[in-house]
Amino acid sequence: MIAAIGIMAGAILILLGLVGSVLPILPGPPLSLLGLFLLALVRNFSPPLTPTLLIVMLIVTTVVTTLDYFIPLFGAKRYGTSKWGIYGSIGGMILGVFFSPFGILLGAFMGAVLVFDMY
Asked whether residue 74 is domain-assigned, the answer is no
Give the domain extent around 16: 1-69
Asked whether residue 108 is domain-assigned, the answer is yes
Residues 16 and 57 in one domain: yes
Residues 47 and 102 in one domain: no
Residues 65 and 115 in one domain: no
Asked whether residue 47 is domain-assigned, the answer is yes
Q: What is the pLDDT of residue 11?
A: 97
Report pLDDT digits (tens) over 25-44: 788 999 999 999 999 999 99
Asked whether residue 98 is domain-assigned, the answer is yes
Residues 64 and 99 in one domain: no
Residues 62 and 42 in one domain: yes
What percentage of the chain has pLDDT greater than the value 70? 98
Q: How many domains does the chain have?
A: 2
Report pLDDT digits (tens) over 82-110: 888 888 888 888 888 788 777 877 888 88
Report pLDDT digits (tens) over 55-87: 999 999 999 988 887 787 788 778 888 888 888
Asked whether residue 51 is domain-assigned, the answer is yes
Measure the CA–CA gap between 49 and 41, rounded to whole angstroms: 9
Does the pLDDT of residue 116 top 80, yes or no? no
Q: Position 62: which residue type?
A: T
Closest CA to 93 of 110, 81, 80: 110
**DSSP code for 49:** S
Measure the CA–CA gap between 69 and 38, rounded to whole angstroms: 26
Asked whether residue 25 is domain-assigned, the answer is yes
Asked whether residue 107 is domain-assigned, the answer is yes
Residues 118 and 95 in one domain: yes
Cα radius of gyration rounded to whole Å, the chain: 19
Asked whether residue 99 is domain-assigned, the answer is yes
